[in-house]
Structure 1
């Protein structure tokens, strides 16, 4: 509680502590004649009381046998062809809480592989910049790959509204470096879908990209992308529509 305001939050211990609000910030300085608000607050406190009682009973009856599985998600089975498949976690593939991917095995020791789309051994463009690993001879190929991907979306009237270096993967091949797009959460129909109301204000978005503005591919602009390689710079000029821009923040590059 903060003064005459209160909020109910829930916390869980994972590899780190995660706390999330379960209610909004609710004032207790309400008009007692407002029966709807009175009943709402009464129900909340009653529910909180019941929840704390059940949580207390849960911990009293909890088996305290040490298990390394306590560090992993609680889901340890899934239905398949009418039966439940049990599995145990082995390890987390990446030490990154924003990309939680786990390795697991069945009770018979068989490794479980779930391919959502395809595993790509690649590094994001911004990380390639930082490491100075963008090859000068690959700049044009990278540009053409991105342009082709954006073009395929535009053919279906879709706009890639979050084209930043962190959403471009660079794949090293024997011949050169190739590029592909990831993170299609902000991909939407041109002039129908809108930019999110939670746009990061610390990012320099392109002209026309703002909160609740429609994602559009009508306005054309030139965006310069500086690629750092072997103490030299090569410049890629992106001729892409609004909603498919490379942001200023993505053009930052370290010098060799």
Structure 2
């Protein structure tokens, strides 16, 4: 990693690219549909045009060719690769200089917006930088230029980045919020003939087909958008999904007010307000990989959990990505037990609610799983006084006894039952163990 990039990542102008790990942003699929659609299409088995396979096989020859020196890039590999790749992407990859920096290839759309940015190296380990880092820096410079300032004030400026190192290629998505957020959409892929995995041709061809469609989608997005010449868009920092269908099938629009866990990209939770001239109300919007709506509904009937207003896991075609679903629930006035316990103990009546909630879940063969202080809400009245009631929140982990499994990404140092661990089967005694811990607060 170049020294200047390490310096940049340790200062205020860092890029949220996951280097180091704490320099990570919220999932980009929340901010523009082009990324979620790319990932969904990549998982599809729908047929693609035969010509895509032919072009992909021809591109393999270009990708697998050898070049002697990195400084021959612009004269040899650059031109050949741009021409071949441009045919697959359906547009011309140009060389455009901004602030003295020229990416190896850029496809522009309406108003000179950079739809796709390509950076490449002759081979892995050659040159002075990782091409994915170079692509991220090129994205930052292009979108920071004076000519695109009005776009930067109005939207998240989505682009697709293509990083190439010899016969290897990675596709990344990029958005610009407070700072650039760059996240991979694929692994580094072998773009060449693979004798051991001949069927890989089908997958690589689908990657290029998805790139073609993403380019068209971004082109349409920028062409049909009309940002004002000045002023900020208050919705710009938030997810693009801003409505849901209620239990009666009626559309409910809402406006995001703030992010509730700004320093934790693992927690994609927002406070929002419904757009209702007569009776607006606060709601909580969260995005999850999986969710147990039935368990929350069960507790909500007994006022032991917030009312669930929308379960995105039941409507996968309406979600921001194949691994992200929108969950919406009532906002309840209160603080979580972790914050409450700093200055006050857990009351007997509040603990009784937690105990009742766990017993109710267990009676229906559910295991809550994540029974810790942050997932216990101490209810308060309008002036902040405790009501003596409590609710369980966050049903991401909740599963059926001996069927559900704990997430692979979990902190194992939080005093769990000895049988709890990443991927372990869930059982009721795990909840009872954590309930004993809560009883001591």
**Residue 196, structure 1, aligned to residue 425, structure 2:** no
Q: 1:160 aligned to 2:323?
A: no
Q: 2:273: which partner in 1?
A: 103
- Alpha carbon RMSD of aligned pairs, Å? 4.0
1:129 equivalent in structure 2? 341
Q: Quote the offset at 1:121 in angstroms.
A: 0.8
The count of residues paired between Structure 1 and Structure 2 equals: 222
Aligned equivalent of 2:433: 245
Instruction: Tell me by how many angstroms 1:44 deviates.
Output: 2.2
| CA distance in structure 2 between the aligned counterparts of 1:148 and 1:165, rounded to whole angstroms | 16
Deviations 1:163-185 (A, max 9, x none): 00101111246786332211122
* SS at structure 2 position matched to 1:208: coil
Q: Is the 8 A contact 1:162 1:186 kept in 2?
A: yes
Which protein is richer in helix relative to its size? 2
The answer to whether the Cα contact below 8 Å between 2:254 and 2:272 also exists between their aligned partners in 1 is no
Instruction: Report the alpha carbon displacement of residue 62 of structure 1 after superposing the two structures with TM.
Output: 2.9
Tell me the TM-score normalized by structure 1. Answer: 0.66
Q: CA offset at residue 28 of structure 1?
A: 3.6
- Inter-CA distance 111–185: structure 2 relative to 1 (3 Å threshold): same
2:419: which partner in 1? Answer: 208
Tell me, yes or no, if the aligned pair for 1:206 and 1:247 is still in contact at 8 Å: no
Instruction: Describe the superposition over 1:15-63 as per-residue Cα deviations: whole angstroms up to 9, x where unpaired.
Output: 6655443223323465368543234324423542453355245424531
Instruction: Specify the SS of the correspondent of 1:179.
Output: strand
C-alpha contact 2:367 2:399 (8 A) present in aligned 1? yes
Comparing 205-214 with 59-68, greater Cα deviation is found at 59-68
**2-structure distance, mates of 1:149, 1:79:** 28
Match of 2:357 among 133, 145, 149: 149
Specify every segment of 5 or more residues in structure 1 that has no aligned partner in the other structure, as ranges.
Answer: 218-240
- 1:99 aligned counterpart, secondary structure: strand
* 1:26 corresponds to 2:234: no
> What SS does structure 2 have at the residue aligned with 1:246?
helix
Deviations 1:73-101 (A, max 9, x none): 44466679xx9969573x50555453223
- For the 8 Å contact 2:380–2:387, the answer to whether it is kept is yes
TM-score of the pair, normalised by structure 2:
0.41
1:5 corresponds to: 168
Aligned to 1:221: none
Q: 1:24 is paired with a residue of what secondary structure?
A: coil
Question: Residues 77 and 27 from structure 1, CA distance in 2 versus in 1: closer, same or farther, beyond 3 angstroms?
Answer: same
Unaligned runs of 5+ in 2: 1-162, 263-267, 284-306, 310-328
CA pair 25-156 structure 1, distance change in 2 beyond 3 A: same
Distance 2:280 2:172 in 1: 35
Distance change (3 Å), C-alpha of 1:27 and 1:129: farther
What residue number does 2:6 align with? none
Change (3 A) 1:189 1:75: closer
Q: 1:13 to 1:202 in 2, by over 3 A?
A: farther
Residues 12, 175 of structure 1: alpha-carbon distance in 2 compared, 3 angstrom cutoff: closer
Return closer, same or farther for 1:164/1:17 CA change in 2, 3 Å cut-off.
farther
Q: State how far apart, in whole Å, the 1-side matches of 2:406 and 2:250 are.
A: 41
